[in-house]
Amino acid sequence: MDGTDQHTIALARTLDGGDVGALRAALAEALARGPVRLDASGTERVSTSGLMVLLSAAVSARAMDRPLVMADPSPALEEAIETLGLADQFAPMIPSHAGNAPGQ
């Protein structure tokens, strides 16, 4: 597949309990159609539940053999990932971090 087959989802400024249901549905729908690129540049606040939805989508994407890439994670998103100790889990999704995953 080339880049034209990729679906881009712009993550909201705030990913928290009130927003994760819609995000979960959007991710599932997009993954059913093909590769997904997440534009995470505008995310200013993220809760643990928001991160868990993203990780769940990554697991689903791997099971479906679909690429799921997070482009340009915002500083707030990067900080939340680091604070919760989830850098290793997110590394495969973030091209700029892929080389930092253990064993790579």
Residue 95's pLDDT band (cuts 50, 70, 90) = confident
Closest C-alpha among 83, 7, 74, 21 to residue 50: 21
Block residue for tokens 């679909």: 66
pLDDT single digits (tens) 23-82: 999 999 999 999 999 999 999 999 999 999 999 999 999 999 999 999 899 999 999 999
**pLDDT score, position 92:** 92
Q: Is the pLDDT of residue 1 over 70?
A: no
pTM score: 0.85
Domain ranges of the chain: 7-98
CATH class of the domain at 7-98: alpha beta
Block residue for tokens 């599932």: 28
Residue 97's pLDDT band (cuts 50, 70, 90) = low
